[in-house]
């Protein structure tokens, strides 16, 4: 499991690891790791051209010391100083190694690699105009752009990007991941993230993580698996209240998501037209209400009085439930209902739940997911480029297994069924939402052929493709 720690915890780690030691050993260790990664990216340092973008403070010092190490290996290193107070020790080391410092941006034109050491983890707001101009110049060249610790202009603690920022190819971060490297829009600026270890004293001082990200082994350990004694009831029975005469496909997809994710049985209840389609596509689904372990309610439900009646009836029994789509619109005007809930809004739906602006939700995804979790005393799965899963007690996980190709009609209906199946199988809401998002994203990558999740590879998928991919994802995990 990847774990990200906030700025305060990282500073406590710095203090603990450096206590009682002369000089600046942590900076030198960080700079050594940065230089090593840059040398690998250059595929041979001798004769390469490296430019440092240097601000004041520790990040500038890291960049200068790394530049000195690269210069000693034969690189031509130029530092563009954006401050009249650069790190004195780093600047002296660079000059002693044969590097140069100045302000002529023309050195960017033939650079092979540019190191962003403008702003550190304490930075707030977008880049200043002079820095933004240099960054735009660097990004317009063919050089590989490497960020020091966190891309300048990205809020390390939240992932917010309030103005101009660096869009790095690689970010070399020190000691611990920062939330802003895992949560969009900041995560989208980080590129590939490499972590430099700063030692056990640093690690011991960090405390509990602020954000987690499940990996394949974590998901495999969480997923309920059948045993020799299992039957369909022990594997979990999921009730699905979805679809209407206007939105028939939502019922088919939500039921399919639950079945393909491992539910032992699905009970579907809805109007005649979607019922007929569910029966045709999923003959193993049982039509009609009955005993279940968890519910899925909302996809294609409609927001009229009939939809509200269905929502209240489903949530009235106090069982765990996933609420999605139209169910969220209806829930926004309701008093607290039912038992443990997983809400699965996209940014627009989260904005309605909170009475906020959609653009604000997109800009501050972590903050708004946590706000909604507290307001509704529910686990909130905020869908988007980076899915954020927030629990009312403050725990947060993010998921990055998805792909832009998942932005297609019906994808969210499948996700609601997947999370419902995991709830019915006995996972608590936080684990069900986290593992469900991971499975859904992995199925999207598999179905689209987009292995790295950037959207640059692969091709379009429709929601039914996810249903075919889900069993293969689970087999791969096993």
141 and 261: one domain?
no
Q: Determine the distance from the C-alpha atom of residue 290 to the mean position of all C-alpha atoms in its chain, rounded to a whole number.
A: 37
**What are residue 171's phi and psi, to 5 degrees?**
-115, 125
The predicted structure's pLDDT at residue 385 = 85
Q: Is 231 annotated as a binding residue?
A: no
Closest residue by Cα to residue 340 from 416, 257, 432: 432
Q: Is 300 annotated as a binding residue?
A: yes
Same domain, 369 and 287: yes
The span from the CA of 319 to the CA of 23, in Å, is 59
Among 182, 213, 244, which residue terminates a domain? 213
Residue 257 annotated in ligand binding: no
Q: Is 383 annotated as a binding residue?
A: yes
- The CA-to-CA distance between both ends of the chain, in Å, stands at 17
Can you list the positions of beta strands (E) in 165-264? 170-174, 192-196, 211-213, 237-241
Question: Binding site annotation covers 386?
Answer: yes
Q: What is the pLDDT of residues 162-175, one digit of tens each?
A: 999 999 999 999 99
Q: Give the whole-angstrom CA distance, residue 8 versus residue 228.
A: 49
- Copy the structure tokens of residue 203: 């690690």
Model confidence at 273: pLDDT above 70: yes
β-pair partners for 101: 79
For 96, the 3-state DSSP assignment is helix
410 is in an annotated binding site: no
**Whether the model pTM is above 0.75:** yes
Alpha-carbon distance of 170 to 115, in angstroms, equals 10
Q: Give me 115's structure tokens.
A: 């190191």
Tokens of 170: 């690689």
What is the C-alpha separation between 26 and 15, in angstroms, rounded?
Answer: 10
Token pair 């590129």: residue? 191
Kindly state the average pLDDT of the residues 301-307: 94
Query: Is 83 annotated in some ligand binding site?
Result: no
Q: Do residues 388 and 430 lie in contact, with contact meaning Cβ atoms separated by under 8 Å?
A: no
**Residue 164 assigned ligand-binding role:** no
- Verify that 59 and 101 share a domain, yes or no: yes
Q: Which range, of 132-141, 220-229, 372-381, averages the lowest pLDDT?
A: 220-229
| CA separation for the pair 108, 256 (Å, rounded) | 53
The dihedral built from the CA positions of residue 66, 42, 122 and 78, taken in this order, carries a sign that is: positive
Out of 213, 233, 264, a domain closes at: 213
Helix (H, G, I), strand (E, B) or coil at 116: strand
pLDDT tens track for 441-475: 999 999 999 988 888 899 999 999 999 999 999 99
Residue 412 assigned ligand-binding role: yes
- Domain range holding 416? 216-477
Q: Are residues 224 and 146 in the same domain?
A: no
255 and 226 assigned to the same domain: yes
Question: For position 121, which CATH number holds?
Answer: 3.40.50.10260
122 is in an annotated binding site: yes
> Do 341 and 466 belong to one domain?
yes
Strand ranges for 133-281 from DSSP E: 144-148, 170-174, 192-196, 211-213, 237-241, 265-269
- The pLDDT, as a whole number, for residue 181 is 97
385 is in an annotated binding site: yes
Q: Which helix (H) or strand (E) holds 72?
A: helix 58-72
Q: What is the mean pLDDT of residues 312-326?
A: 95
Q: How high is the mean pLDDT of the chain?
A: 95
Question: What is the separation of C-alpha 150 from the centre of its chain, rounded to a whole number of angstroms?
Answer: 15
pLDDT band at 223, cuts 50/70/90?
Answer: very high
Cis (ω within 30 of 0) for the bond into 185? Answer: yes
104 among annotated binding-site residues: no
- Per-residue pLDDT at 170: 98
CA 339 to chain centre: 27
Pair of tokens at residue 23: 């000089």
| Domain stop point among 213, 239, 272 | 213
384 assigned to a ligand binding site:
yes
Does the annotation place 60 within a ligand binding site? yes
Q: Is 243 annotated as a binding residue?
A: no
Same domain, 257 and 194: no
Write phi, then psi, for 387 (nearest 5 degrees).
-75, 130
Residues 228 and 196 in one domain: no
58 appears as a binding residue in the annotation: yes
Ligand-binding site membership of 178 (annotated): no
The count of domains in the chain is 2
Q: For residues 476 and 220, give the distance between their C-alpha atoms in angstroms, rounded to a whole number.
A: 9
Any idea which residue has 């340092």 for tokens? 45
Q: CB–CB of 270/245 below 8 Å?
A: no
Q: What percent of the chain shows pLDDT beyond 70?
A: 100
pLDDT band at 382; cut points 50, 70, 90:
very high
Is residue 59 a known part of a binding site? yes
We report the CATH number of the domain holding residue 374 as: 3.40.1190.20
Mean pLDDT of 257-278: 97
Beta bridge partners of 113: 50, 144
6 and 140 co-located in one domain: yes
Same domain, 203 and 268: no
The torsion angles phi and psi of 297, rounded to 5 degrees, stand at -140, 135
Neighbours of 39 (CB within 10 A): 19
What is the total residue count of the chain?
Answer: 478
pLDDT digits (tens, 9 = 90+) for 181-203: 999 999 999 999 999 999 999 99
Determine the pLDDT at residue 129.
95
CA angle 121, 124, 126 (to 5 degrees): 110
For 297, the 3-state DSSP assignment is strand
Residues 191 and 225 in one domain: no
> Of 309, 313, 342, 334, nearest to 418 (Cα)?
342
What span, in angstroms and rounded, lies between the C-alpha atoms of 143 and 47? 15
403 is in an annotated binding site: no
Q: Beta 341-343 vs 76-81: how paired, if at all?
A: unpaired
Going by pLDDT thresholds of 50, 70 and 90, the confidence category of residue 336 is: low
**52 and 136 together in one domain:** yes
Q: Which of 323, 362, 330 is nearest to 345 (CA)?
A: 323
Enumerate residues 6+ apart whose C-beta is below 8 A from 179. Answer: 4, 5, 6, 156, 157, 158, 159, 210, 211, 366, 396
């Amino acid at each position: 499991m990847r774990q990200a720690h906030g700025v305060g915890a990282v500073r406590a780690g710095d203090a603990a690891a450096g206590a009682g030691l002369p000089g600046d050993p942590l900076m030198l260790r960080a700079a050594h790791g940065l230089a090593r990664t840059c040398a690998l990216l250059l595929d041979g340092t001798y004769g390469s051209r490296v430019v440092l973008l240097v601000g004041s403070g520790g990040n500038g010092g890291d960049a200068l010391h790394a530049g000195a190490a690269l210069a000693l290996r034969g690189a031509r290193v130029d530092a563009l100083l954006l401050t009249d107070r650069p790190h004195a020790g780093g600047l002296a080391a660079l000059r002693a190694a044969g590097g140069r410092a100045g302000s002529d941006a023309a050195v960017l034109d033939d650079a092979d690699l540019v190191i962003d050491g403008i702003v550190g983890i304490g930075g707030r707001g977008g880049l200043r105009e002079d820095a933004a101009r240099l960054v735009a110049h660097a990004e317009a060249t063919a050089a590989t752009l490497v960020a020091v610790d966190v891309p300048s202009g990205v809020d390390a603690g939240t992932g917010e990007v309030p103005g101009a920022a660096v869009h790095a190819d690689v970010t070399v971060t020190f000691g611990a991941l920062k939330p802003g490297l895992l949560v969009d829009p900041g995560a989208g600026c980080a590129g590939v993230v490499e972590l430099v270890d700063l030692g056990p004293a640093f690690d011991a001082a960090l405390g509990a993580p602020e954000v987690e990200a499940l990996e394949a082994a974590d998901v495999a350990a969480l997923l309920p698996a059948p045993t020799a004694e299992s039957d369909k009831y022990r594997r979990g029975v999921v009730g699905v209240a979805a679809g209407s005469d206007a939105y028939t496909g939502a019922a088919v997809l939500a039921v399919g998501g639950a079945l393909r994710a491992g539910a032992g049985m699905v009970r579907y209840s809805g109007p005649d037209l979607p019922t007929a389609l569910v029966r045709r596509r999923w003959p193993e689904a049982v039509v009609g209400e009955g005993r279940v372990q968890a519910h899925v309610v909302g996809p294609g439900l409609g927001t009229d009085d009939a939809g509200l009646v269905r929502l209240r009836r489903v949530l009235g029994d106090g069982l765990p439930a996933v609420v999605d789509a139209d169910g969220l619109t209806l829930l926004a005007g309701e008093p607290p209902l039912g038992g443990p809930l997983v809400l699965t809004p996209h940014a627009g739906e989260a904005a309605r739940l909170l009475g906020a602006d959609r653009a604000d939700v997109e800009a501050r995804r972590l903050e708004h997911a946590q706000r909604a979790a507290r307001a509704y005393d529910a686990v909130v799965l905020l869908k988007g480029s980076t899915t954020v899963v927030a629990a009312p007690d403050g725990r947060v996980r993010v998921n990055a297994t998805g792909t832009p190709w998942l932005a297609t009609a019906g994808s969210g209906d499948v996700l609601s069924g997947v999370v419902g199946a995991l709830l019915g199988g006995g996972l608590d809401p936080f684990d069900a939402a986290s593992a469900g998002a991971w499975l859904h994203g992995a199925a999207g990558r598999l179905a689209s052929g987009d292995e790295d999740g950037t959207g640059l590879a692969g091709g379009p998928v429709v929601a039914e493709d996810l249903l075919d991919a889900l069993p293969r994802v689970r087999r791969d995990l096993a």
